[in-house]
Amino acid sequence: MIHLITGGSGSGKSAFAENFLVNLGETKRFYIATMYPFDEESHQRIRRHRRMRSEKNFTTVECYTNLKKLQFPSDSNVLLECMSNLVANEIYQEEGAGRLTVSAVLAGIRYLADMVENLVIVTNEIFSDGMDYDEETARYQEYLGKINESIAAFADRVTEVVYGIPITIKGDKMRE
């Protein structure tokens, strides 16, 4: 199963995603962390998040680019967080896919989904502020938008979290 979870900053989407996987039962849980640690503040944030996830029996795997390099047991439940960081890394990091970001990320998602029992993907809703951005930011938004739209099309479930309230966009409402 592929479950795409979206929402704005601070919406509760991360907690919802983690709890969704925890509620699937005692299984092997992996958390793919995509935030690249640029400074001491980000290192502290990563340490805090690792502690929080370890209480939920997640094993954290850092992956900033190239999802296809990862390996997980077939009976695993995997949380990928978050798509907006992964897309930025693929576009701007030297080892990233650059202009091939959309196809590289989608191929990586399909690769993971074929490997594991359940794949939950967290992404951000960044498209509703109505502002005009510079060319680089517009390209980032375009790529993230195409990726989100494609994942939503082939995902089994899509949920938007608004103010901590999950709203089913696609799929079964019973498991929320």
Which CATH number covers residue 93?
A: 3.40.50.300
> Does the structure show a pLDDT above 80 at 122?
yes
Asked if the structure places residue 9 within a domain, the reply is yes
> Does the structure show a pLDDT above 90 at 92?
yes
pTM of the model: 0.93
Count of domains in the chain? 1
> Does the structure show a pLDDT above 70 at 152?
yes
Asked if the structure places residue 176 within a domain, the reply is no
> Does the structure show a pLDDT above 80 at 166?
yes
> Does the structure show a pLDDT above 70 at 175?
no
Averaged pLDDT for residues 78-82:
96
Neighbours of 78 (CB within 10 A): 24
Rounded Cα–Cα distance for residues 83 and 106 (Å): 11
Q: Which residues, 6+ apart, have CB-to-CB distance to 20 below 8 Å?
A: 3, 5, 120, 175, 176
Averaged pLDDT for residues 67-87:
97
Asked if the structure places residue 80 within a domain, the reply is yes
pLDDT for 176: 45
Residue 64, domain extent: 2-170
The overall average pLDDT reported for the chain is 92
Asked if the structure places residue 166 within a domain, the reply is yes
